[in-house]
């Protein structure tokens, strides 16, 4: 472990295009630009929330990090070590685990719960007896009484209980980072609250780091320290949770937040913040990918792709929008102050 | 539409739905009664297995009839739904009552164009020619605000995005100008920015066409956005009904209070979410008395004896606030609105 590494995970220019095959020979006729030039870091002990609509690449990002799919380009560093060069993928997977949305599909239906949890450690060389003992311990940790649950099969459990088993299994190898891909999305509200409390508690007790992928903005606000907003395979905005929710800089983030029902029947939403659906990630719009739905789009948005730059205000708040870049040519952008385009803040 | 405005359009009286299987009988709906006035929107709020979708499907008799036992009475615009024969039922579905489903991709027929599917619905009930039906279909697509509607008329479901597909399904449901529209989680499968568009569309259409609507959802925010009246369902019963303001802002039933408490909305980071302990009951073996008692922090002996009667405590704009809870009965004078503190 290198103590010098400030980030537990650092991702640089991650890219994944999926081919769309057609015709007799199955040649790639088009590419789904699922994740395109995505960079971010996660500090040890924090929770980074990833939000976005379907097709924005948030789940693909999670799978790329776990190497469940191979990236086309980009570097992933775990505790400063370059994955694939300094760190073997199998070692990475010991330190990084993932929990998926479908609690039933992610458990082997033929294995009792304790065997499922013990499977990972056994694969990594732990004797069976010790692995089962550890599984019992983990069941207790996720709030399932071991004597009552260890011999049960997935179909005998409720959705919330099954997801707890998945957490126990993810914890079995003492990982440092857990990727939660819509891990509470399939649960009922009353169960979701129980599971969220458990996640917060586990993180505190075990010193975990979370990458929390979700479409639910309220849940992400509750669990995250920082939030990454994705749109069509790109990072639109990233920053501290209060800055993203309190002072969103990207028009997409603002629309996403305004799309939430108010929860107050007396202050109903009167106009939809956006029209239309997210476009198809096959052949996304040129320039800024949000421009086709953006109320502020101008010529520059079509020709030039905005890059992530520091936003005014909170440190660590980055936004990819021409309106927020001085001298970008957008009518709402501040004029160029100096000859450089370095932002004065920070 | 044929009804006088004061008479209820939908009347459900003590509806019970049971599914009979080889091993067990599942009691999905256990005595639901309500009335819906023309032009009114009722939101049914509940978690999975609460019986909300089953109630909705019972209103159109869409449940598999071999294994389903239905008791009670459903009257929609004067039709005694549970006693209609197949032909009469077909005449009611569409012009009187229509439904929008959660998953448009499975509810639409993949081998026919949107235009053909709308025209089919119209021509089943009205004797008009194909050209006129197609013209009506185009009007309907414009009504549900599908951009470049004329082109979309010849599109197949898979060629449309999720939001457009859901709009197309709403168009089919509206094809025969129903007096009651049933919506079963119509926005759940959609993205956030699309969900709000469909919600506002349904709200606008309901207002403009003067339809009554029953909107089933698990999402409190969605229910608050569209409903006049909200019914909270638990283990096949309406445990609380009332004006949307009453239910959302002054919930009486411990379950509703717990549901509101466990909804993550503007909760400060670091504060523990209040939760409802345990899980919903097994519908094949319902507990005696109040079904929520095993999870309720206030449960007492009386809760386990009999199902609590509906108690009225106030209301808003003429909509009574009804709750099935012994506590409400006992403390109706003091009107206890304490927030439960469940561990």
For every residue of B295-341, DSSP letters joined together read G-TT--GGGGTSPPPEEEEEEETTEEEEEE-HHHHHTTTTT--PPP-
pLDDT at A189: 83
What is the rounded distance in angstroms from the CA atom of residue A129 to the CA atom of residue B279? 32
Main-chain dihedrals φ then ψ at residue B18, nearest 5 degrees: -125, 140
Helices (H), A142-239: 146-149, 159-171, 189-206, 217-223
Tell me if B237 is assigned to some domain.
Answer: no
Dump pLDDT digits (tens) for A152-173: 999 999 888 999 999 999 999 9
- One domain, residues B78 and B194: yes
Per-residue pLDDT for A4 more than 60? no
Name the A residues in 267-306 with CB < 8 Å from any B CB: 268-278, 280
CB B3 within 8 A of CB B9: yes
Same domain, B8 and B122: no
Residues B125, B149: one domain?
yes
Task: Write out chain B residues lying below 8 Å of A48, CB-based.
Answer: none
> Are B126 and B53 contained in the same domain?
no
Round the average pLDDT of chain B to a whole number and report it. Answer: 89
Q: What domains lie within chain A, and their CATH numbers?
A: 7-110+153-324 (3.40.50.300)
Out of B48, B248, B264, name the one closest to residue A193 (CB). Answer: B264
Number of domains composing chain B = 3
The CATH number of whichever domain residue B39 belongs to comes to: 3.40.50.300
Residue B167 sits in the same domain as residue B183: no
Nearest to A268 among B225, B264, B279 (CB): B225
Distance (Å, whole) CA A145 – CA A238: 40
Query: What ipTM describes this predicted complex?
Result: 0.84
pLDDT digits (tens, 9 = 90+) for B138-192: 999 999 999 889 999 999 999 998 899 999 999 999 999 999 999 999 998 888 8
What secondary structure letter does DSSP report for B73?
E
In terms of domains, do B265 and B148 share one? no
Q: Is there a single domain that holds both residue B45 and residue B189? A: yes
Instruction: Give B329's pLDDT tier (boundaries 50, 70, 90).
Output: low
pLDDT at residue A344 above 60?
A: no
Which of these three, B125, B151, B171, is where a domain ends?
B171
Token duo for residue A263: 């929860």
Structural domain boundaries, residue B158? 111-171
- B153 and B45 co-located in one domain: no
* Residues B29, B123 within the same domain: no
Q: Is residue B244 part of a domain?
A: no
Q: Determine whether B294 is exposed, middle or buried from the number of CB atoms within 10 Å of its CB (0-12, 13-18, 19+).
A: middle
User: Does residue B236 belong to any structural domain of this protein?
Assistant: no
Same domain as B24, residue B125: no
- In angstroms, what separates the C-alpha of B93 from chain A's closest C-alpha? 30
Domain match, B152 and B287 both: no
B91 and B190 co-located in one domain: yes
Asked if residue B185 is part of any domain, the answer here is yes
- Residue B9's pLDDT is 95
Yes or no, beta carbons of A256 and B221 under 8 Å apart = no
- State the pLDDT at residue A336: 63
């Amino acid at each position: 472990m290198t103590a010098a590494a400030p980030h537990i995970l650092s991702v640089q220019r991650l890219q994944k295009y999926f081919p769309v095959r057609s015709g007799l020979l199955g040649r790639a006729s088009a590419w789904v630009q699922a994740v395109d030039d995505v960079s971010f870091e996660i500090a040890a002990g924090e929770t980074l929330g990833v939000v976005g609509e379907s097709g924005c690449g948030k789940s693909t990002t999670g799978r790329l990090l776990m190497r469940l799919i191979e990236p086309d380009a980009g570097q992933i560093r775990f505790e400063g070590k370059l994955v694939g060069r300094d760190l073997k993928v199998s070692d990475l997977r010991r330190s990084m685990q993932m929990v998926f949305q479908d609690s039933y599909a992610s458990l082997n239906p033929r294995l009792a719960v304790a065997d499922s949890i013990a499977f990972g450690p056994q694969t990594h060389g732990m004797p069976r007896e010790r692995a089962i003992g550890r599984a019992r311990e983990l069941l207790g940790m996720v709030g399932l009484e071991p004597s009552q649950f260890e011999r049960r099969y997935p179909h005998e459990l409720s959705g919330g209980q099954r997801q707890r088993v998945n957490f126990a299994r993810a914890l079995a190898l003492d990982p440092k980072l857990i990727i939660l891909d819509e891990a509470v999305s399939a649960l009922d509200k009353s169960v979701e609250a129980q599971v969220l409390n458990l996640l917060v508690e586990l993180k505190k007790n075990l010193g975990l780091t979370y990458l929390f992928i979700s479409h639910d903005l309220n849940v992400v606000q509750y669990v995250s320290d920082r939030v990454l907003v994705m749109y069509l395979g790109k990072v639109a905005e990233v920053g501290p949770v209060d800055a993203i929710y309190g002072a969103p800089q990207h028009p997409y983030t603002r629309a996403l937040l305004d799309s939430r029902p108010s929860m107050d029947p007396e202050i109903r939403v009167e106009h939809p913040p956006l029209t239309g659906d997210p476009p198809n990630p096959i052949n996304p719009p040129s320039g800024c990918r949000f421009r086709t739905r953006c109320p502020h789009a101008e010529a520059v948005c079509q020709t030039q792709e905005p890059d992530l730059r520091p936003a005014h205000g909170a440190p660590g708040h980055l936004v990819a929008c021409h309106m927020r870049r001085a001298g970008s040519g957008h009518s709402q952008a501040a004029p160029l102050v100096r000859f450089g385009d370095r932002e004065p803040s920070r | 539409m044929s009804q006088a405005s004061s008479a209820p359009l939908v009347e459900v009286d003590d509806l019970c739905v049971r599914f009979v299987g080889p091993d067990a009988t599942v009691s999905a709906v256990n005595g639901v009664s309500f009335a819906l006035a023309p032009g009114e929107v009722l939101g049914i709020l509940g978690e999975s297995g609460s019986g909300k979708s089953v109630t909705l499907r019972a209103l159109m008799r869409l449940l598999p009839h071999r294994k389903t036992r239905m008791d009670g009475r459903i009257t929609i615009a004067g039709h005694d739904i549970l006693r209609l024969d197949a032909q009469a039922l077909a005449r009611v579905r569409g012009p009187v009552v229509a439904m929008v489903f959660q998953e448009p991709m499975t509810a639409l027929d993949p081998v026919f164009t949107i235009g053909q599917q709308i025209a089919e619905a119209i021509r089943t009930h009205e004797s008009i020619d194909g050209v006129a039906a197609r013209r009506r279909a185009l009007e309907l697509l414009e009504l549900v605000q599908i951009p470049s509607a004329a082109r979309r008329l010849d599109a197949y479901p898979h060629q449309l995005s999720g939001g457009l597909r859901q709009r197309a399904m709403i168009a089919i449901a509206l094809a025969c100008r129903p007096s009651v529209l049933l919506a079963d989680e119509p926005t759940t499968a959609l993205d956030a920015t699309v969900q709000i568009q469909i919600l506002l569309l349904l709200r606008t259409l309901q207002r403009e066409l003067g339809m009554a609507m029953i909107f089933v959802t698990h999402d409190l925010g969605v229910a608050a956005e569209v409903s006049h009246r909200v019914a909270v369902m638990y283990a096949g019963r309406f445990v609380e009904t009332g004006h949307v303001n009453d239910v959302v802002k002054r919930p009486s039933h411990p379950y509703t209070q717990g549901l509101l408490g466990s909804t993550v909305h503007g909760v400060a980071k670091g504060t523990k979410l209040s939760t409802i302990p345990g899980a919903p009951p097994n519908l094949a073996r319902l507990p005696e008395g109040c079904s929520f008692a095993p999870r309720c922090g206030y449960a007492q002996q009386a809760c386990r004896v009999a199902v609590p009667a509906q108690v009225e405590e106030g209301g808003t704009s003429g909509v009574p606030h009804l709750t099935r809870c012994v506590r409400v009965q006992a403390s109706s004078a003091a009107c206890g609105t304490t927030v439960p503190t469940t561990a």
